[in-house]
Structure 1
Amino acid sequence: MNKIIGLACLLVLLISSCGDDLLIPKPPTYLRTDFPKHEYVKINDATTYSFELSKAYFAKPLTYKGELTNHKEINLGPLNGILYLNYYPVPNRDTLVRYINLSNDKVDEHQIKATKIKDQNFVFPDKKVYGTLFEFEGNVATNFQFYLTDSASHFIRGEVLMNCRPNYDSLRPSLNYLKVDLLHLIETLEWKKK
């Protein structure tokens, strides 16, 4: 009797599985990354510096206590992130050293999560622009930080924050695109003459 019930169940299972609704495994999916072409527009700060920024991004000056500052918040548009540019005047050599050390300390804060930190130095003596770009690999809060100075009276610190949970593998195409624009910003930065 048990053999007959088992055979009947097997027969029903075989007959019901012969339909057109076969399960087909889905292929793996990938993030679609349609980024705009790299085109740039010059951004002028009235008193301190200028640089070229991607047309896909939007820069706005920041205010403090109702007063306009030389700091900028750059919305990274299709990349869903923010680039903060903080400008500080440098009254003396000790202040410059303090700003550079502060920037390096901010980089060190991410050593725990970063799998690798690459740095790239910039030296443009004809424009008096010197600095370092730090690129963080891994699931970190910021993937790029940099500072630029003229070694005498200007200092800019930049930091990129993406508006999403840090997942380096998923963000890599966006970060590669952004790196091109950051390098262009750094290479086109100029200090205003006093």
Structure 2
Amino acid sequence: MIKFLDGDAISAKIIQTIRETNVYLTLVSPYIKLTNKIKSELTYLTKNKPEIEIEVVFGKNDNNPNKSLSNEDFEFLKTLQNIRISYVKELHAKIYCSEDRLMLTSLNLHEFSQAYNFEAAFVIEKPSSILGALNNSKIELAWDEALEFVDKVIESSIPVYHKGKVYESSWLGFSSKLVEEYDEDNSETFFKKPIAVRVLYT
């Protein structure tokens, strides 16, 4: 199913996507300033489903990336489990998706945009059954092409922070064993402000 949304319905759908994700959550937005509601939902999600992989991609402002992702929001995102934060200078697309839903929108994940701007979005809901997929081949094609684009954006990104745990499922998947933990933080170098150059005239 493909559906058009505007106004507050876009923010509501983002919240719904966060709540319902079970495998992965991808948030692609040039500018990020999280509302308290988004923070609350993300915290609840990772507390109750710590195995979910979260991908956050931001962009623009290559001379001062803090204008695109504030230190406050970056520090908050670092508290979440299984998260990768990365940067693409040329990023302009805004895409929010999980394993079942993908939103292409004009809306930055920014509290100002959500409160004041005229925004629009198309949402693709992945067919839940094989029969549904067969009857919606064009939707499946759009889904696959959109995910391919998201993968391309992620592959082009510069990693800023990456934290997670790798689990190994036991027989029949009834329990899992922690086999690896990783925490890679490149933020100190990445967010370092460029040194101002003074030119002296004589």
The TM-score normalised by the length of structure 1 is: 0.28
User: Which one has a larger percent strand, Structure 1 or Structure 2?
Assistant: 1
TM-score of the aligned structures, taking structure 2 as reference length: 0.27
Q: Which has the larger radius of gyration?
A: 1
From the two aligned structures, give the one with the greater helix fraction.
2
